[in-house]
């Protein structure tokens, strides 16, 4: 039996895909991660649980399954485009986010919930 030492490649690929989120095949995966990092992390944190500042603003914990279930994509999009009752939450267009990036950003947010 021949042994192929290909297993070294697997952890590298895994780390890369974890870093980029789930759909690494999407051409925009890297860009979206960058937008998230540059624009959202400040409040939502690198892990989606919310930064210290974000928690004071009242951000939801994106890793919480109950939260994820409580909001449809349409609900999230509405909050993202119109803002919410929470005065600390500004609509994302005010942060310079392109409307076309909202759906991919929702996927990033869903990915924190394991979906």
User: To the nearest 10°, the Cα dihedral for 12, 16, 22, 25?
Assistant: -100
Query: Shortest distance, CB of residue 26 to ligand HEC, whole angstroms?
Result: 16
| CA-based nearest residue to 60, from 71, 49, 72, 70 | 49
Determine if 75 is a binding residue for ligand HEC (CB under 6 A).
yes
Judged by CB under 6 A, the residue of 104, 105, 110, 112 near ligand HEC is 105
Quick check: 23 and 11 in contact, CB under 8 A?
no
Q: Indicate whether 56 belongs to the interface with ligand HEC (CB under 6 A).
A: no
Which is nearer to ligand HEC, 17 or 95 (by Cβ)?
95
Residue 22: how many other CB atoms lie within 10 Å: 15
Contact with ligand HEC (CB under 6 A) among 29, 43, 61, 104? 43
Q: What are phi and psi of 107, to 5 degrees?
A: -60, -40
Alpha-carbon distance of 77 to 80, in angstroms, equals: 5
The reply to whether 32 sits near ligand HEC by the rule CB under 6 A is no
Q: How far is the CB of 7 from ligand HEC (least distance, A)?
A: 36
Q: Among 71, 107, 110, 112, which residue sits at the site for ligand HEC (rule: CB under 6 A)?
A: 71
Does residue 29 interact with ligand HEC by CB under 6 A?
A: no
């Amino acid at each position: 039996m021949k042994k192929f030492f290909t297993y070294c490649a697997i952890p590298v690929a895994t780390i890369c895909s974890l870093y980029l989120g789930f759909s690494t095949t999407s051409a925009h995966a890297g860009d979206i991660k960058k937008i998230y990092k540059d624009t959202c992390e400040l409040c939502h944190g690198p892990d989606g649980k919310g930064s210290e500042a974000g928690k004071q603003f009242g951000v939801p914990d994106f890793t919480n399954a109950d939260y994820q279930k409580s909001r449809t994509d349409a609900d999230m999009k509405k909050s993202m485009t119109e803002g919410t009752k929470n005065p600390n939450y500004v609509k994302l267009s005010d942060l310079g986010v392109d409307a076309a990036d909202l759906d991919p950003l929702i996927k990033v947010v869903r990915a924190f919930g394991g979906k």
